[in-house]
Structure 1
Amino acid sequence: MILNRRQMLEATALAVPLLATGRAFAAPAAGKARLLVVFLRGAYDGLNIVAPTSSDFYHASRPTIALAKPNAAASDTALPLDADWSLHPALKDSILPLWQAKQVAFVPFAGTDDLSRSHFETQDTIEMGQPIAGHRDFQSGFMGRLVTALGTDKPISFTDQLPLCFRGGPTVPNIALANAGSKPPIDARQTALINAMYKGQKAGGMDLEAAVAQGFQVRDTVFQSIADEMNKAGRGAISAKGFELSARRIGRLMREQYNLAFVDVGGWDTHVNQGGAQGYLAGRIGELGRALAGFANEIGPDAWSSTTVVVISEFGRTFRENGDKGTDHGHGSVYWVMGGGVNGGRIAGPQVKLAPETLNQDRDLPVLTDYRALMGELIVRQFGLSADKVAQVFPGARAADLQLL
């Protein structure tokens, strides 16, 4: 195939998204502190994952999808976490052991002050990490600002395109998990043509020839690392399906090379036939639990001790189930904070008794823990950032004090 200049530029943008304004990316050895953000796009129903099973209001509001109260004699009932909250039974073999080891905390009533209930608007709100009021810069994301504040060159995004959260900072490599283990989309001959096209060229003080060469080098390193992992899977050492395998790949890469990472997982918009202990949501949350447990296992105990994983979603679902045995767009959610150094085995953050009068607009969980404050606390404790640096990452927000780390 012969590529013209426009085709080569488009191919380069898709395969090596490393030419944004700023310096070229290089992949040094990872430091000790690591942060992985897992974004559940589609607004997952946290109330059927970490469920308030002691609440009669919860069971009355969800007559067909609520999790049954814990019962050791029944396999499909919720797993008790404390006197009020229980865990979905699909997480019995994956997340419950981490809870028992005090390596995961759940934060209910968490989210943003964005009340649009729009997937896209609220996802943007979270990724930008900027105040709702006033002008917002869609070219600046909170993880991009975090990379700048840390002064580190070890981020990566496991996404098809560079997400909004990484915009505005140093250039960051991204790789789509759907392509993981396959051949890079540009072969060696096309790579050579693109390198030749940029030979000797500079733009805005940036050496484009060096940036392109460095970008392809990072791409090849990532693909080779993933190929090695797939070879292990072929010998039966690692499961070879879905996100569970992808999460193990992420664990290996973060153990060896990267300290800041972002991944998004779709399929959480459960308006119809959501299910309870069994069904659609149960299947998805089971996969997620196995994935996260696989990540923890793959990254290894030494790296896990200084790794924090945060599981977030743009908003929660309605407290009451709808007429289609599902849930609609809501507000407050339940966030997860995991890691070997996490002060876990507890439900963290402020709570209120669940009742019609305490719901947001008589339909949703209220937000009592702002996600920017929660994330601010984690990066202070994880990376030792000063208050001034935190203000750069999350302008207008103050770090919470939930004692998560």
Structure 2
Amino acid sequence: MAQTSSNNGRTDQILVEETGSVRTFILNRPKQLNALSFQMISRLSELFYASEEDSNVKLIILKGHGRAFCAGGDVSLVFHNARKGNWKVGANYLQKEYILNYVMATYSKPQVSILNGIVMGGGAGASIHGRFRVATEKSVFSMPETAMGLFPDVGASYFLSRLPESFGEYAGLTGARLDGAEMLACGLATHFVSSDKLPLLEQELAKVDTSDPDAISAIISRFSNIPKLKEESPCHRMKIIDHCFSPRSMEEIISTLESEALDKKDGWISSTIQLLKKASPTSLKITLKLIREGRLQGVGSCLVREYRVICHVLRGEFNRDILEGFRAILIDKDRNPKWEPSRLELISDDDVDRYLSEIDDEDWEDLKLPPRSNLPSYAIAKL
């Protein structure tokens, strides 16, 4: 019989169901599309640590209540404080979130994330690092940060860099929306299950009394299928994506896309160029550097580097694009941010490298990750 725990009588932002050896954690802020509050991140951290220590727990299931898995971090408090110069509020929030991402990536027991709905930003960090990611026809994945003066974080420089060829650069730079079939095809999801089969899948997973990944994968596979990709899907365009997104610099990437646009009347190429030209030039250059370097580094190193960058971004010492993006998209909602610098060619490699330096503040220190004995659990699906 499943048991649901409560959190000291408060309205629970995380629900917990206990069924035999399985623990199901449910993100429970449906009106906010399950955006991760500091309270949710803290509670998930407690639950993951406790379940890892409990020998009776064999499997973790993570899912969302409502039409989203998780639409990202609940960062309004972060940005409001950054506007007032109190950047350390955001740094503390993100420090806690990045450590949770690292624990998930190195977890000793399988995590099955049911991605039945929106999966963006922090929602990707809470799921993609886990061993199993189950997409459905309702899944919508995106890392839209460059359009907001940010960059894909929560370990995205690790998992995006491990997608086929240059698909990670494409997804991270453009913030392109991918459906469940595309998530499976590129490796962000390990399985695809129709949403109407999820109750049966969860019933079967609730009977699990093993942490053997092969046994759990076999259960999920019984309910899985390989869906057909849409005709216009970018997954059909791997060759041109690799051609256009593999050049060394952002300037060369856009130039290659523009050359392709002259040769071919292709709406996808035109819309891709427009997405890049609307994004923060600084964010694009930071994102490209992080993904390229992330390809050669472990998840811990990626998170440490991302933490340095996000602290610089929140401090606004080099530019204030994050505040301008927040204004244009979330406050005034005019969707017309004025980036500064406004053009890629005004941003040098040295300008980008400054974001990777240590913070000149006596109270600041690098992200301290807890000792872990397991290798990262993230793996690209093999079709």
TM-score when scaled to structure 1? Answer: 0.26
Higher helix share: 2
TM-score when scaled to structure 2? Answer: 0.28
Please tell me whether Structure 1 or Structure 2 has the larger radius of gyration of its CA atoms: 1
